[in-house]
Amino acid sequence: MEQMNGSLQMEQALLFTFLEVSPDCQFREQLKSYRDSLQKQQMIVYQSSDDDELQTDGNRSGHFQNGELEEASTNEEVIRIIAARLTQIGDQFNEEIEGRVVEDLVQHFRNEALSKEEIALHMSRVVKELQRSIPLDMAQEKAMLVLAMVLTKKILNRVPSLLQRVFNATVNYMNQQFHEDIARMLGE
């Protein structure tokens, strides 16, 4: 379970950064607020699982050893660089994605009766259809990852109130479909 949580954090970081560096992101305030709330939740989990004394100021001081703090900063920079590259690729796809495709996804995300699995399946079908219809000169997995993140941005630009549901669904989709590819990109 811990490995799963760590891998989701990798996908979360990549998606947050992709959205933050996207020039046409219209929901930056909501995104920052959501990121802050997730970081607070993760800090609480981190502190409650720590046998040492708990920090009341929200800092993890004294717990980074053997270069972990430096590694975290390096990972953030690598994620930022990769997200910026993926954003550039995504900008090329942006115009190719029709409004009706985005509106259809919005309706699925608004439908509270649909399970996370049903939404993930629908998103997967849409990404695969787009990947087949848009001429791409890159690896299929990378193209599908970028398409999923661009769709997320387009949905949230249209309906920012769906942020939590869309973001979590996309992170889970990325984890299920592209975890190895993302890990490979971050390792390059």
pLDDT, one tens digit per residue, over 15-69 is 999 999 999 999 999 999 999 998 888 777 666 655 444 444 444 443 444 444 4
State residue 34's pLDDT score. Answer: 95
Residue 118 is encoded by which pair of tokens? 């049903």
Using alpha carbons, select from 151, 180, 170 the residue that is nearest to residue 34. 170
The CATH number that applies at residue 174 is: 1.10.437
Give the mean model confidence (pLDDT) for residues 90-114: 92
Tell me the C-alpha distance between 106 and 111, whole Å.
9
Listed range (54-63, 70-79, 97-106, 139-148) with the worst mean pLDDT: 54-63
- Give the whole-angstrom CA distance, residue 47 versus residue 186: 27
d(CA 59, CA 14): 23
The number of domains in the chain is 1
Domain limits for position 92? 2-187
